[in-house]
Amino acid sequence: MQTNIRNIFTLGIMAAAAATLVACGGGSDSPSTPSTPSVTVSGKAVDFYVSGATVTFLDCSNQTAITNATGDFTFPAGCTSSALKGSGGTDIGTGQPFTGVLQSPALPYKAGVTPMLTPLTTLLAQLGAGQAEALATKLGLAGKDLTSLDPMQDAAVLKAAVVVQQLVEQVTKTLTGVAKGGTLSAADAAAAAAKAVASAVGAASGPVDLTSSALVTSVVSSAVQNAKAGLPASLQANINTVAANVAALAGPVVATQVANVSASLGNIVLGTTPAATLAALQASGAVNGVVDSAKSTTTSALVSAVPAATLTDPAKTAGLTALGTAVAAGNSAAIQSAATGLGSGAVDSGAIDNVANAVKPANFIQLASVTINGQTFPVSDAVTVTGGTLGAITVAVSKDGDPFAGGAADVRAGLSYTYNGNTVNVIIEKVSLTFSGSALTAVQVPVNTTYSFSISGATSANVSLTNAVADNLFSSANGGSLSLPFTTFLGKLKSAGALSQAQIDALTPKATATFPVTFAVTGQGGKEVSVGTLVSGTAQKAQVQSVQTGTATVSGNAIKTAVTLNP
């Protein structure tokens, strides 16, 4: 009972309440006589259901209802059709307060149909109810009724809704920072952000990628224009330049945050119930990316750190892009360098120090370098090695502070690569790390640990097995390293009778070839473990990736690199 979806978007949106779009006076099966729905209206908040949210019936004298623990609420007596607004409450998936605003257009009441109040209906409220089919198609959800389909019952809709909500929320936070000293209300900021996202999707000629840097930059710029009336007068007078500069500054941060949410969700697998779906997402670490986004105030703090004189200066756009890119990477040295490059007084030095301290990793596992076939490289997006055949990748590991909050230094690990028309995914349910001070001194996969494998392409296999003896993944190279032996992992499948030697040979990377490799970790039981990579001598937080097999998912900080293997 799996429903798989792939990228473009993510999970996590805390969203408010559910909804049946029914409103005041008319629109039911008896047009001349208002009727009261005979069912409890359920609305779905998409960082899962939102409890305690306030739903306002805009066309029914602004009467309100409060959602229950699963996002359900009941329409007021006599109200059969209304535009809806949802706010407040707590997302039951992330445990975080819902700070956004959900909307839904007024639709005719239909018996037996439970209308939804979700991030996707928020976009529809901006575009108009008649655009429902077109919106679904552009979001990669063709044929799905966004007004009545519970996202918790459809994997593709759930992921799209979560990613949309986090995009809207990140842009809203950006506007809050820009409007400091102005009159922009929280509700107006949310409306300006939602309108910008809806316009970008509506204007697209085909399917959209909400994690695209170009799209996000365009959305931020449009949102600033939409919020003009609530900005300080000093910014309103130069709104075009301000919009371009805010987009340059905040765009990279918003795009990275939304991409992390999308990647953390991976391919959502529905459980037998929404509660089971949520539990699986939490256990895999997938919800962590949504929580991080929901809690983040980076864009607001970043924009607030830049004075109006800088935001209204067209000569500062390139420098602001560099600053935003450094903040998105979480590299404190690069942030300071970019801030200095903007010139004296162009950035509030104290405020930008606070931003740098907030985004750099703390209490983390550090991945300092990668060794392949005896050749060592800094962690980067691409490496070129020689040696003809890839046997193992070794990653230098140390720790900074206490990544495990005093608990056991155990992680779940996922390895993925694509080669020769096949994608190979491996998940190890428990890898025990031993440190002496900050140095890694041992890495072991304990006896009876489950390995799960998923191979798709020219060769197909889904296998789970346990190790009868402990596996040693430690290397003393580079001060202590974790070794990922491709050939050993594939050998387990041969021993289990799942693959022949010829199939293993076809899955073993050989020159000349270029192939992507991803290595991701998360804590036991979905606990987040922060991972940083060493870039030009400074640690920065690794981006989020997911590795999935037929039976397991690891969503967490990761390194992803394209390996070119030469003879």
Q: What is the pLDDT of residues 474-515, one digit of tens each?
A: 999 999 999 999 889 999 999 999 999 999 999 999 999 999
- Which region among 1-5, 193-197, 238-242, 305-309 has the lowest average model confidence (pLDDT)? 1-5
Residue 36 has pLDDT above 70, yes or no: no
Grade residue 34 by pLDDT with cuts at 50, 70 and 90.
very low
C-alpha to C-alpha distance for 468 and 487, rounded to whole angstroms: 18
Among candidate residues 455, 453, 415, the one with its CA nearest the CA of residue 431: 415
pLDDT (0 to 100) of residue 111: 78
Q: What is the pLDDT of residues 226-250, one digit of tens each?
A: 999 999 999 999 999 999 999 999 9
Q: What is the pLDDT of residues 312-359, one digit of tens each?
A: 999 999 999 999 999 999 999 999 999 999 999 999 999 999 999 999
- What is the reported pTM? 0.90
**Coil, strand, or helix at residue 383?**
strand
Residue 1 has pLDDT above 50, yes or no: no
pLDDT (0 to 100) of residue 434: 98
Strand partners, 283: none
3-class secondary structure for 476-509? CHHHCEEEEEHHHHHHHHHHCCCCCHHHHHHHCC
Residue 35 has pLDDT above 70, yes or no: no
Tell me the CA end-to-end span of the chain in Å, nearest whole number.
44
C-alpha to C-alpha distance for 285 and 526, rounded to whole angstroms: 4
Q: Is 163 exposed, middle or buried (0-12, 13-18, 19+ CB in 10 A)?
A: buried
How far apart, in Å, are the Cα atoms of 138 and each of 120, 144, 207?
12, 12, 4
How large is the greatest C-alpha to C-alpha distance in the chain, in angstroms?
81
Grade residue 42 by pLDDT with cuts at 50, 70 and 90.
low
pLDDT (0 to 100) of residue 94: 86
Vertex 181 angle, CA 176 and 183, to 5°: 70
What is the average per-residue pLDDT within 514-541?
94
pLDDT (0 to 100) of residue 44: 55
Residue 61 has pLDDT above 50, yes or no: yes
- Which region among 78-92, 143-157, 188-202, 414-428 has the lowest average model confidence (pLDDT)? 78-92
How confident is the prediction for the chain on average, in pLDDT?
Answer: 90
How far apart, in Å, are the Cα atoms of 344 and each of 122, 341, 356, 386?
42, 8, 18, 47
Grade residue 47 by pLDDT with cuts at 50, 70 and 90.
low
Q: Is 372 exposed, middle or buried (0-12, 13-18, 19+ CB in 10 A)?
A: buried
C-alpha to C-alpha distance for 230 and 175, rounded to whole angstroms: 10
pLDDT (0 to 100) of residue 38: 45
pLDDT (0 to 100) of residue 433: 98
pLDDT (0 to 100) of residue 14: 32
Percent pLDDT > 70 in the chain is: 92
54-57, strands of its sheet edge to edge: 63-66, 54-57, 84-87, 101-104
pLDDT (0 to 100) of residue 24: 35
pLDDT (0 to 100) of residue 45: 55
pLDDT (0 to 100) of residue 78: 83
Grade residue 401 by pLDDT with cuts at 50, 70 and 90.
very high
Which is more confident, 300 or 81?
300
Q: What is the pLDDT of residues 436-471, one digit of tens each?
A: 999 999 999 999 999 999 999 999 999 999 999 999
**Backbone φ/ψ region at 544: left (φ over 0), alpha (ψ -120 to 50), beta:** beta
Q: At what angle do helices 155-178 and 286-295 cross, to 10 degrees?
A: 20
Strand partners, 444: 432, 472
pLDDT (0 to 100) of residue 92: 85
Residue 269 has pLDDT above 90, yes or no: yes
Grade residue 20 by pLDDT with cuts at 50, 70 and 90.
very low
Q: What is the pLDDT of residues 62-111, one digit of tens each?
A: 999 999 988 888 888 888 888 999 999 988 888 899 998 999 999 888 87
What is the average per-residue pLDDT within 116-141?
95
